[in-house]
């Protein structure tokens, strides 16, 4: 079978990926698979998804294509080609465009919940509430995160997923404690 | 260059031994071969790998190596200097990705010379840390059987230890920042490797796909090359990393999806034994007979037959045999391992001969 991407080389990597309930079959050669981030262990066809997302969500060429990260020099146009960002600041520079893209890639999720770097958290406590904000976000963001967790908790309880519910309760308690400790 | 991390006092791994992911022990190990957790992390004050030049990558490599050396006894490999056969051995042992072996990222970025490293936890190879793959750090922990919780706990503490020496790129909104925005949030990828010969024989793999679909998990053949799911080894992993805590993701997989898949497979095996006993017995004995007698053997055929023999032993259609030994053969029939065993490079024809010989010898006392 020939590679479905380049149509030249023999397809040696065959994968089925299910995304949003749709099963996608891929037959690729080594080179095209590497380009798509496929093949090898633990790698999902993310770049390909990103490319699709970027094209469909981020809209046409004009708007923002010339946007450049002042820290690493990556342009948004280049990001559209590779699906890869250049540094932490890229997330701020391109935030407006990345927001909807990330939301779609993560099935509607908009905010991080879960682990916060423990060392940074310790260090920020000494720096006071301003430093803590760089890890936990503004009070509005913190409130949003808590209400997202409470919604997840309610549906876990309704579905009788008690282990999940317990871990969500722990997470809410952890954030509450951070609020009190950091204020 | 390959060698133990300074001061660790340990030697390298033995490529003649099986690895954690094939140990075949632990919870539900009749179906679940192994569980894996992988965390993606990047340094705050440094360019991500895709946008860094060689010097910047070398700097990050040195920084990360210093942090990794504090974690415990590890073997360090400068992947850019490692010979091709060594890289392939490490890929076959699931200690690093094929992408890391090549050094090439999406969009054709990078190349084999780019500074990158691999640290392997000794002596059991349960921990592996890739440096300068797509992200600065990819921490991987593997456990035999269904043990995602244990794997997560271990990965979590390695992560904390690394963070004591390194400042991570993190944002309140997107969590751990990664080169590819599809990995942001927890940066955590959970996966479980399953052996599903029963469902395959009954053509019911779609059941697994449907179960995974509900939770938007990905089902893939474990050995990507050659054909879909060689050796009936499948991998289920999460697709999204943002908006759910590590614990919630873990419970979704370990308490909801995976137990269902395990039930399906066990049921399929019972059907094969109870309702199709003659056909199934014939099949597993033919597989064993071929492995014990063939003179030429391809990797794919070996894996298909080993899968049937493993099924036969677990369902007692074949006489009792050491399941660990059979698991290990899934690894030893791979190209680089076979060459390592022979102590020299082999042509394709020589490999087929060597593979058949190895299988005849190792399986002589089975059945
Ligand atoms: Zn191709
Ligand atoms: Zn940047």
DSSP label of A10: B
Q: Which residue has the higher pLDDT, B365 or A26?
A: B365
Contact yes or no for A54/B80 (Cβ under 8 A): no
Query: Percent of chain A having pLDDT more than 70?
Result: 69
pLDDT tens-digit map of B53-108? 999 999 999 999 999 999 988 999 999 999 998 999 999 999 999 999 999 888 78
pLDDT tens-digit map of A61-86? 455 667 999 999 999 999 988 999 99
Average pLDDT over residues B148-161: 97
Bridge-partner residues for B117, per DSSP? B78, B131
pLDDT at residue A36, rounded to an integer: 60
pLDDT tens-digit map of B304-330? 999 999 999 999 999 999 888 999 999
What is the C-alpha separation between B98 and A13, in angstroms, rounded?
12
Q: Which two tokens stand for residue B163?
A: 């963070």
Give residue A70 CA to ligand 2 midpoint distance, Å. Answer: 7
Q: Which ligand is closest to the CA of A67, given by its number? A: 2
Of B280, B288, B306, residue with least CA distance to B366 = B288
Q: A138 contacts in B (CB within 8 Å)?
A: 172
Contact yes or no for B364/B333 (Cβ under 8 A): no
Query: Residue B123: is the preceding peptide bond cis (ω within 30°)?
Result: yes
A95, pLDDT greater than 90: yes
Q: Which residue has the higher pLDDT, B5 or B213?
A: B213
Question: Which secondary structure element, helix H or strand E, spans residue A21, and what is its range?
Answer: none
Q: What are phi and psi of A19, to 5 degrees?
A: -125, 125
Average pLDDT over residues B334-360: 93
Task: Write out B116-173 in H/E/C secondary structure.
Answer: CEEEEECCCCCEEEEECCCCCEEEEEEEECCCHHHHHHHHHHHHHHHHHHCCECEECC
| Interface contact flag, B173 A111, Cβ < 8 Å | yes
CB burial of B328-362 (b: ≥16 within 10 Å; e: otherwise) equals: bbbbbbbbbbbbbbeeeebeeeebbbbbbbbbeeb
B334, pLDDT greater than 60: yes
Give residue A91 CA to ligand 2 midpoint distance, Å. Answer: 7
What is the C-alpha separation between B360 and B294, in angstroms, rounded?
8
Give me Rg for the CA atoms of chain A.
21
What is the C-alpha separation between B16 and B338, in angstroms, rounded?
10
> CB within 5 A of ion ligand 1: which residues?
A 3, 5-6, 9, 29, 32
Q: Which residue has the higher pLDDT, B292 or A2?
A: B292
What is the C-alpha separation between B293 and B303, in angstroms, rounded?
15
Burial of B259 (0-12, 13-18, 19+ CB in 10 A): middle
A66: left (phi over 0), alpha (psi -120 to 50) or beta: alpha
Question: Which among A18, A90, A163 has the least Cβ separation from residue B219?
Answer: A18
Contact yes or no for B196/B203 (Cβ under 8 A): no
CB count within 10 Å of CB B263 equals: 12
What is the C-alpha separation between B288 and B305, in angstroms, rounded?
7
What is the CB-side half-sphere exposure of residue A174 using CA atoms within 13 A?
16
| N-term to C-term CA, chain B | 44
| Interface contact flag, B243 A40, Cβ < 8 Å | no
pLDDT tens-digit map of A149-167? 999 899 989 988 888 899 8
Q: A114 contacts in B (CB within 8 Å)?
A: 175, 185-186, 188, 244-247
User: What are the domain boundaries of chain A?
Assistant: 1-43, 46-105, 118-182
Give residue A93 CA to ligand 2 midpoint distance, Å. Answer: 8
Q: What are phi and psi of B220, to 5 degrees?
A: -140, 155
Residue labelled with tokens 């009954």: B202
């Amino acid at each position: 079978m020939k590679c479905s991407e380049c149509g030249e080389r023999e397809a040696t990597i065959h994968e089925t990926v299910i995304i949003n309930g749709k099963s996608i079959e891929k037959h690729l050669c080594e080179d095209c698979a590497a380009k798509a981030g496929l093949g090898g262990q633990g790698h999902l066809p993310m770049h390909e998804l990103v490319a699709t997302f970027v094209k469909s969500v981020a809209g046409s060429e004009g708007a923002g294509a010339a946007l450049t990260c002042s820290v690493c020099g990556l342009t948004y146009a280049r990001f559209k080609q590779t699906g890869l960002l250049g540094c932490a600041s890229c997330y701020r520079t391109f935030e407006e465009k990345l927001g909807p893209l990330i939301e779609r890639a993560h099935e509607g999720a908009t905010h991080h919940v879960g682990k916060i770097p423990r060392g940074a958290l310790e260090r920020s406590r000494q720096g006071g509430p301003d430093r803590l904000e760089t890890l936990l976000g503004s009070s509005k963001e913190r409130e949003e995160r808590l209400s997202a967790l409470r919604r997840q908790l309610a549906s876990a309880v309704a579905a009788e997923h008690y282990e999940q519910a317990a871990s969500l309760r722990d997470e809410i308690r952890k954030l509450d404690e951070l609020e009190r400790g950091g204020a | 260059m390959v060698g133990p991390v300074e001061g660790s006092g340990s030697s390298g791994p033995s490529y003649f031994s099986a690895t954690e992911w094939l140990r075949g022990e632990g919870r539900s190990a009749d179906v679940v071969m192994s569980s894996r957790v992988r965390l993606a992390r990047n340094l705050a004050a440094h360019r991500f790998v895709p946008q860094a030049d060689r010097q910047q990558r070398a700097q990050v490599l040195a920084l990360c190596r210093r942090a990794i050396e504090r974690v415990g006894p590890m073997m360090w490999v400068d992947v850019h200097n490692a010979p091709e056969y060594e890289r392939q051995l490490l890929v076959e042992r699931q200690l690093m990705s094929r992408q890391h072996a090549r050094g090439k990222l999406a969009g054709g970025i990078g190349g084999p010379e780019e500074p990158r490293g691999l640290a392997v936890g000794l002596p059991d190879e349960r921990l592996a840390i890739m440096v300068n793959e797509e992200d600065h750090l990819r921490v991987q922990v593997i456990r035999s059987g269904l043990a995602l919780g244990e794997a997560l706990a271990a990965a979590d503490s390695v992560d904390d230890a690394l963070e004591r020496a390194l400042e991570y790129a993190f944002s309140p909104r997107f969590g751990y920042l990664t080169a590819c925005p599809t990995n942001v949030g927890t940066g955590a990828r959970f996966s479980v490797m399953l052996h599903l010969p029963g469902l395959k024989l009954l053509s019911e793999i779609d059941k697994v796909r449907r179960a995974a679909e509900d939770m938007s998990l990905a089902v893939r053949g474990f050995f990507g090359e050659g054909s879909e799911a060689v050796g009936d080894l499948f991998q289920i992993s999460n697709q999204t990393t943002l908006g759910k805590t590590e614990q919630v993701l873990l419970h979704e997989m370990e308490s909801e999806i995976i137990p269902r898949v395990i039930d399906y497979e066990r049921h399929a095996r019972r059907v094969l034994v109870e309702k199709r006993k003659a056909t199934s017995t014939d099949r597993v004995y033919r597989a064993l007979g071929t492995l014990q007698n063939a003179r030429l053997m391809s990797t794919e055929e070996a894996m298909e037959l080993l899968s049937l023999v493993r099924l036969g032993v677990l369902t007692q259609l074949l006489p009792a045999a050491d399941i660990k030994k059979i698991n290990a053969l899934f690894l030893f029939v791979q190209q680089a391992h076979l060459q390592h065993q022979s102590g020299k490079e082999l042509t394709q024809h020589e490999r087929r001969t060597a593979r058949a010989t190895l299988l005849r010898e190792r399986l002589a006392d089975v059945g």
